[in-house]
Amino acid sequence: MEPERGSPQASLSDLFSILQDPKEMLIMSIQCSKKLDQAFRRLLPFSLALLLGTSGTATAASVNTTGLAVTDTTVTVGDLHSATGTMAISEIGSIQAEMLAIDQINAAGGVLGRKIEVIKEDGASDWPTFAEKARKLLVKDKVAAVFGCWTSASRKAVLPVFEKENGLLYYPTFYEGLEQSKNVIYTGQEATQQIIAGLDWMAKEKGAKTFFLIGSDYIWPRTSNKIARKHIENVLKGKVVGEEYYPLGHTNFRTLINKVKAAKPDVIYSIVVGGSNVSWFKQLKAAGITGDKANLLTISTTEDEVKGIGGENVLGFYSAMKYFQSLDNANNKAFVQAFKTKYGADSVIGDVTQAAYLGPWLWKAAVEKAGSFDVDKVAAASPGIELNTAPEGYVKVHPNHHLWSKLRIGKWKKDGQVDVIYESGLIEPNPFPEGYQ
Amino acid sequence: MSETTSAEFFATLLMQGFAGISLFSVLLLMALGLAIIFGQMGVINMAHGEFMAIGSYTTYILSVLASEQGWLDIYFPFSLIAAFIVAGVAGYLLEIVLIRHLYQRPLDTLLATWGVSLILQQIFRSVFGAREVSPELPEWIMGSVQPGEGIDIPVNGLFVLGLAGLVTAGVALMMFRSRWGLQVRATSQNRLIAGAVGIDTQQVDRITFALGCGLAGVAGAAFTTIASTGPTSGSLYIVDTFLVVVFGGAASMVGTLASAFTIGQAQSILEFLMTGSMAKVLTLVTVVGLLMMRPEGLFTAKVRR
Amino acid sequence: MTSLLEYYRRIPASWRGLLILALVLLVVFPLLMGSFRLNLVGKYLCFAYVALGLVLAWGYGGILSLGQGVFFGLGGYCMAMYLKLEASDPVSTAIQSTPGIPDFMDWNQLTELPWFWEPFHNLPFTLLAILVLPTLFAYVLSLAMFRRRVGGVYFAIITQAVALILSTLIIGQQGYTGGVNGITDLKTLEGWDIRTDAAKTVLYFVCCGLLIVCIVASQFILKSKLGLLLVAMRDKEERVRFSGYSVADLKVFVFCVAALFSAIGGALFTLQVGFMSPSFVGIVPSVEMVIFAAVGGRLSLVGAIYGCLMVNFGKTYFSEAFPELWLFLMGGLFIGIVMFFPNGMAGLFQSGGRESLKQLWRGLIHMRHHDRPSPRVDEASLDSSLEPRS
């Protein structure tokens, strides 16, 4: 249980040298009293913190053998998102959630007795910048972990850097799968977790047989629709009556809507991303396709997007993902409360924001299990880590570094929140699904 | 696929035709202001998209105020006027501070106005945040009319179409039937002589530029019925808008009209046949190809430059 | 020491700037910076190739291209295709349903390598393609337009449209191009790991060396009769035409040279950064590349390099320290350069600052009087850059 301490000889000779210098002694004693004070505070709140209090006395050298930015009282991590540029809209929620989690962890005593300090870097919605900043965080700042990235493109850009420099990335977005790395923990859902259960539900509840697949034109929507198509054709024995892609930022969907009308699908399956969402849903409504007449299931539209779209434009449509702000459980209520206290009462929390919130907590749990900040040890300790305090409920890290999670289906209401009308069991993450490629 | 009857086929055809027309009206609204500034004055305003965004944000602010006062049903027409005024005044100021020093140097104007667009984008971001906003619109504009079975014509499309028609008519009247229009055309043909016969060319420049920017503002306001507004949404349209104007023949109003129609219809027909990305690529390639063959555009103005 | 100075004096003045630049790039930077910073500089220098091309085409030829990203991207993609094929050998892609093809193709359900990828297995072909393909494209594009006397603003708008077309095409055809993500995870060049610090340092020197070669080549072009014609053409196109020269051919030539430089820059960028994406092809990066040249001085070859380094360092620094301010600064830079310092830093430097301050003062006065003569044809700075008095 107790991690090994530094060798007694070394600390003894250190002590002698300190004794010879009165100024050092003063500093030393102040540090000691501070540490004692911290240790005492840590003892107060939880039993978990008690555990930390004891391990917190371990010296930096013993919990960090690879030269990371860890001192006796602090540990430095990086936060790498787009605070500016086109993706800032989506990523700011993730930054906020990660900061909230880190604040909460620090307030409860930190990780292995060390306060988390954050170096924030801005990827500026530009993939090369992401790679450059990732390298800076790992090479120059020697951070113990990085929470960040949002788009697939930014993750693909930094992945070689993390593997080369042996860093650890917590990636929050639901994504296309087909990837697994020792150096990345994926806290969002991979494609099969998000798609299959949702389609099953549509087929069962609505008797859906024909589907129209729509997406923004990049890897995640395309891969997701590929999986959806295989599942519809091979498992549900249904039919895909159309599959369409539009460039990111596209604002004119009238032609697409006409195609959908001509094909008359039972379900419109939408993976439209970012600003295009607003045009897409506004024009759907203007063309008379509304929640009471048609079934629309989306895996890309969260509370964040709906804030921009307007609840009245998505009224009665369905979203399938692992988290909704309106989830009714104690963890989530506390989380929503804390988030709103920190960032304002009108802030909303979407699926990715919640997944980003899990990152620092999962890292903390893994570090404590490993008894070390070393990336190799933390990565090795990660599988099997459980979190009972997650706002989405219980999650567990799979050996493939993805999370076991549930899928929920929400029906949109006018106020921009959902009624959660379906919840699956825990779904195993499967980033390389057989039979879906 | 389910059976498609001939009536349904007809309905799709009709709605598809309308999709092309509404794309046309959007392009026309965006290009009108630019046609005046670029066509008449020869100034390249790369910040044109940002002036559209000014119009959109003005509408957004008004919608917030209106929803506080309970005037949501009626505020929208006023926001069009407000957008025109705000963007117009901003354009007027920009002309005084920057543009007038660069009339002899079109390429430098291009770079300087690009700088303006960057600054405006950052101002939008600082004031309104990075998140895209969209104003709350009156119910009547978001519905659709159904002239027949299976045919839905969106009201916002009709609205933008009507507005585009109105604005075009207004601009044409001013250009060709008013004293001011005469002065603008005179100045654009020969600045020196125009000045010599007593036209205040500086004032004409200023008003023309302001008018062009004001029209961009109106386009932006109308655009809120279709799409959301973010700090960078203006820059999404700038190239399309320029191509419409250049393709039509820079100094020709009729040309702008025709090229907006051609590009709008071509793109929406192509979109029906292939993916959105490829439709866009094909349309642009065709336009650029035609421009390389015929640099003066579809219509040439009947003036010697 | 004195003899060194003597040697320096003996160098023709026009080469002194180059000598100093070479010293800075090859000696000072490597001594002062660690491998991380040096790699950053190497990355910036790739854009300096584009800026160099723009000095020729825009500063001397009067052709403003807002689509240099296209050529940068073509060069970069050629390199990336080769590296990607090397990285996707059947062993390391065994997990795919079709091993041996790049991973993104597999994700997009391609089962065999598209025909136009095949030749990129071959390194000599790739190197040739990097040089020839973008140049050829520039040739076709510019020949059609310059023959029909499309110039100035129209050319700028059309090149911008080409940038939009190419980036949309790359994003739309992701099965063949990698889409928005670009071509990522490039590892080795002929078995040589390009991700190590040592490799990056070597690549930095290769990048500097080639850049200096390009500057020397440009210097020769400008010193020849061709350079004189270019300037003449920019200032009085009709007269050059009447003198019996083919203006179109001149323009096509200088535009092709600019495209070639950009392509080399793109290829080196791919090597140093380890991936290529459509975000370098589009409109915004293409216009940004113009400001690199403008800041350094559109008439100074060496200045373009410094301008490029300065703007990029500024971008890295400000986007870290004051992300809010960066766009304001960038926008202000565009406006300020155009309004007050049309000849950029080089103009400031050559006149010892005096000339530019005078110009600034003149500019401010003329803001009131508003009949300011075009400062583009600034005789003093033209002379000094063309035929420096030694």
> Could you list the pLDDT tens digit for every one of the 305 residues in chain B?
445 677 778 888 888 888 889 889 989 998 999 988 887 788 889 999 999 999 999 999 999 999 888 888 888 889 999 999 999 999 999 999 999 888 888 888 888 999 999 999 999 988 987 777 888 888 788 777 887 777 778 888 899 999 999 999 999 999 889 998 899 888 888 888 888 998 998 899 999 999 999 999 999 999 888 888 888 888 888 888 888 988 888 777 888 999 999 999 998 899 888 888 888 899 999 999 888 888 878 776 544 44
Same-domain pairing of A250 and A262: yes
**pLDDT value at position A4?**
39
Residue A436 inside a domain? The answer is no
**pLDDT value at position C379?**
36
CA distance B155 to B94: 35
- Tell me which chain C residues have a C-beta less than 8 angstroms from the C-beta of B243: 157, 161
**pLDDT value at position A147?**
97
Residue B47 inside a domain? The answer is yes
Residue B246 inside a domain? The answer is no
Cα Dmax for chain A: 88
CA distance A305 to A349: 10
For residue C295, give the chain B residue with the closest CA. B111
Judged by a CB distance cut-off of 8 A, whether residue C37 touches chain A is no
> Low-confidence residues of chain A, pLDDT below 50?
1-20, 22, 25-26, 28-29, 36, 39-57
How many interface pairs between A and B have CB atoms less than 8 angstroms apart? 123
Contact (CB, 8 A) for A288 and B146: yes
Residue A131 inside a domain? The answer is yes
> Could you list the pLDDT tens digit for every one of the 390 residues in chain C?
567 778 777 777 778 888 889 999 999 999 998 888 898 899 999 999 999 999 999 999 889 999 999 999 999 999 999 999 999 988 888 878 888 899 889 888 888 899 999 999 999 999 999 999 999 999 999 998 888 887 778 899 899 999 999 999 998 888 899 888 899 888 899 889 988 889 999 999 999 999 999 999 999 999 999 888 988 988 888 888 898 888 899 999 999 999 999 999 999 999 998 889 998 998 888 998 998 898 888 888 999 999 999 999 888 888 777 777 888 988 998 899 888 888 887 777 766 555 556 666 665 555 544 443 333 433 333 333 333 333
Phi, psi of B188 (to 5 degrees): -70, -30
Residue B161 inside a domain? The answer is yes
Overall number of domains in chain B: 1
pTM of the predicted protein model: 0.85
Residue A82 inside a domain? The answer is yes
Chain centre to alpha carbon of residue A421: 23
Q: How many CB atoms lie within 10 A of CB C364?
A: 11
- Interchain proximity A254–B18, CB inside 8 Å: yes
CA distance A292 to B208: 49
Residue C3 inside a domain? The answer is no
Axis-axis angle for helices A254-263, B253-273 (nearest 10): 30
ipTM of this model?
0.89
Contact (CB, 8 A) for A331 and A342: no
Which helix H or strand E contains A79, and what residues bound it?
A: strand A74-81
Q: How far is A213 from chain C (nearest CA, A)?
A: 16
How many interface pairs between B and C have CB atoms less than 8 angstroms apart? 131
Q: Which amino acid, one-letter code, is at C114?
A: P
Residue A69 inside a domain? The answer is no
- The residues facing A212 across adjacent strands are A242, A268
**pLDDT value at position C1?**
56
Residue B6 inside a domain? The answer is no
In this complex, the residue of C168, C324, C337 whose CB is nearest that of residue B126 is C324
- Tell me which chain A residues have a C-beta less than 8 angstroms from the C-beta of C180: 151-153, 217-219, 248
Residue C235 inside a domain? The answer is yes
Residue B268 inside a domain? The answer is no
Residue A36 inside a domain? The answer is yes
- Name the token pair of B21: 């027309």
Residue A27 inside a domain? The answer is yes
- Please name the chains neighbouring C, where neighbouring means 3+ C-beta pairs under 8 angstroms: A, B
**Host domain of residue B217:** 19-237
**pLDDT value at position A225?**
92
Same-domain pairing of A100 and A239: no
**pLDDT value at position C346?**
79
**pLDDT value at position B301?**
53
- C108: three-class secondary structure by DSSP: coil
Same-domain pairing of A269 and A237: yes
**pLDDT value at position A31?**
54
- Interchain proximity B100–C335, CB inside 8 Å: no
**pLDDT value at position A58?**
59
- Interchain proximity C338–B115, CB inside 8 Å: yes
CA distance C156 to A430: 49
CA distance A148 to A173: 9
Which helix H or strand E contains A256, and what residues bound it?
A: helix A254-263
Overall number of domains in chain C: 1
- Interchain proximity B228–A279, CB inside 8 Å: yes
Residue C1 inside a domain? The answer is no
Give the residue numbers in A contacting B (CB under 8 Å), as ranges: 84-86, 88-89, 92, 210, 217, 239, 241, 244-247, 249-252, 254-259, 261-264, 275, 278-279, 282-283, 285-288, 307-310, 313
- Interchain proximity A157–C184, CB inside 8 Å: yes
- The residues facing B148 across adjacent strands are B151
**pLDDT value at position A367?**
95
Residue A16 inside a domain? The answer is yes
Same-domain pairing of A183 and A196: no
Which helix H or strand E contains C217, and what residues bound it?
A: helix C197-223
**Host domain of residue A366:** 74-189+328-404
How much of chain B is helix, strand and coil, in % rounded to 5? 75, 5, 20
Residue B33 inside a domain? The answer is yes
Residue B181 inside a domain? The answer is yes
Same-domain pairing of A157 and A208: no
Same-domain pairing of A200 and A313: yes
For residue B138, give the chain A residue with the closest CA. A312
- Interchain proximity A287–B272, CB inside 8 Å: no
For residue A434, give the chain C residue with the closest CA. C97
Quickly tell me which residue has 């790039």 as its tokens.
C25
CA distance B1 to B187: 61
Overall number of domains in chain A: 3
Strand order in the sheet with A403-404: A386-390, A393-397, A403-404
In this complex, the residue of A157, A222, A432 whose CB is nearest that of residue C174 is A222
Same-domain pairing of A223 and A277: yes
Judged by a CB distance cut-off of 8 A, whether residue B265 touches chain A is no
**pLDDT value at position C375?**
39
Contact (CB, 8 A) for B225 and B11: no
Same-domain pairing of A196 and A159: no
**Host domain of residue C79:** 23-290
In this complex, the residue of A121, A178, A223 whose CB is nearest that of residue C320 is A121
- Interchain proximity B130–A288, CB inside 8 Å: no
Judged by a CB distance cut-off of 8 A, whether residue B284 touches chain C is yes
